[in-house]
Structure 1
């Protein structure tokens, strides 16, 4: 995939329900799924009881975009990753254009964890998450949902279902239902920061 600094085609792809991923050779492509994993922004959102104790201890602070590139690197720093170097460049250009954001947890001056996502209207399109300190990404998830609710967001797209997301009440919708929810969210003007 050839990328220029014009983010419009990238935004159009996400607005149509696609997402970017790199393959095992770091070649980027557009992907979609027959079913999409969503994080509920209503009473269906939940988290493990053990996390409630961590939240009550207030051992993490939260920040938005304090270390955007650090979150990108943290999300990509895995044995196998779909976040190709070119995709980090795209995320950075989307960040400069006001679309991509990092929602971070900190312990003192140390980045504990974070979630990388793209905002379009009232949709938060979660790209990836990571942690360096135990519970860093879990606390980020809870605090991000609180933030999205407070800002009037109506869709939190997690793309693909996994066991970790299921602990937070994630659920699957068909592509047809996802497209409907996405279009409704695109017409809901929200400001993330």
Structure 2
């Protein structure tokens, strides 16, 4: 990004607050604020308001709220015939919050990634803090004792914002996404925040919605309480 195009009015204040998402730029789409830090409270304030950090190594901290917003409706995740067949026959198992640090570290340097990672060391440290506080969570896909895929994201009550995923074996990231979608749906949560559309997410049934509609969905999800055991480390079923 050419930061010379960024209005200095986007600089964050020294407190933990953010400007209204309605003030986000249309070009680049969704850029809302510049600067600040990755303090856990600032990150939680960001996600609670539908904002997420995304920047490259040489950038300052950049905060985004794009319009439209990409989501997956948990009861409409798309499983094509070949994936359904794979799910029925594969020897994978799926766990929740079993290896968060391994998942985020592999996501930061996933072998299939063609562009530079935005999951920088300071971001990993910040999300590890959020994990210890009970807000950052991972889904892991295993083949035997080998970690072959997974994803991680931020949850505030019933609102789950996916951050990144990886696969080392066929369909492993798809199974991670299917697993969390089914688990959330079984607990009355009707969407996953996917932030920005890409071809993989679209192939799994993701759609784009207007930011105002997303904010309403997000606000309702935050009001929904999940059971106290929802994020406890355990194996979860994905092929039923």
1:82 aligns with 2:115: no
Q: What is the aligned counterpart of 1:41 among 74, 82, 85? A: 74
TM-score after normalising by structure 2: 0.75
> Which residue number in structure 1 is paired with residue 93 of structure 2?
61
Q: What is the aligned counterpart of 1:163 among 189, 199, 209? A: 199
Q: Distance in 2 between matches of 1:127 and 1:3?
A: 15
TM-score after normalising by structure 1: 0.92
Deviates more, 1:22-31 or 1:123-132: 22-31
Q: What is the aligned counterpart of 1:2 among 14, 22, 37? A: 37
Deviates more, 1:128-137 or 1:151-160: 151-160
Point out the structure with max Rg over C-alpha. 2
Q: Distance in 1 between matches of 2:127 and 2:38?
A: 11
The C-alpha deviation readout for 1:101-149, integer Å capped at 9, x for no partner, is 0011000111110011111121110001111112110111111111111
Map residues 140-179 of structure 1 onto 2, 5 A cutoff: 140-179=176-215
Q: Give the aligned CA root-mean-square deviation in angstroms.
A: 1.5
The C-alpha deviation readout for 1:159-182, integer Å capped at 9, x for no partner, is 011111111110000111111111
Q: Distance in 2 between matches of 1:156 and 1:86?
A: 25
2:38–2:123: 8 Å Cα contact kept in structure 1? Answer: no
| TM-superposed deviation, 1:185 | 0.7
1:72 aligns with 2:108: no
